[in-house]
Amino acid sequence: MAERLSAEARKAALLELLPGWTDALGREAIERTFVFKDFNEAFGFMTRAALMAEKTDHHPEWRNVYKTVEVVLATHDAGGVTALDIGLAKAMNAIARQFGVV
Ligand code: H2B
């Protein structure tokens, strides 16, 4: 199983995920809100991210309202943030960039 990152390791990893990802308030998780041009692009992002999540067997908590996608990442099995979350966050940033969201 992937190892839970310490608060310091999490902060260091978050620096590589700027702009956008922050420590979630009140729980051990990281979060980012993505805002796309419209629903079509938001859902396109979610579709690609979902395929990535399935491939890696690591899944986001997320909420979509029209063109906004709120994402929270944590490793439930580990009770915190692991390298799997950092990897998925990086992949999501790359997918969002394909839709022009930096
Ligand atoms: N996703 C996330 N975010 N955390 C997990 O601990 C997790 C997961 N566990 N996806 C996986 C699935 C596990 O339940 C399966 C059985 O591999």
Walk me through the domains of the chain, giving residue ranges and CATH numbers.
7-98 (3.30.1360.20)
What's the average pLDDT block by block, 10 residues per block, for the chain (102 residues)? 93 92 96 98 98 98 98 97 98 97 95
Determine whether the shortest distance from the Cβ of 57 to ligand 1 is under 6 A. yes
Q: In this structure, what token pair is assigned to residue 37?
A: 């041009």
pTM greater than the 0.85 cutoff: yes
User: What integer pLDDT is reported at residue 84 of this predicted model?
Assistant: 98
Rounded Cα distance, 1 and 45, in Å: 28
Please name the residues in contact with 95: beta carbons below 8 A apart, sequence gap of 6 or more. 45, 48, 49, 52
Q: What are phi and psi of 87, to 5 degrees?
A: -65, -45
Determine whether the shortest distance from the Cβ of 59 to ligand 1 is under 6 A. yes
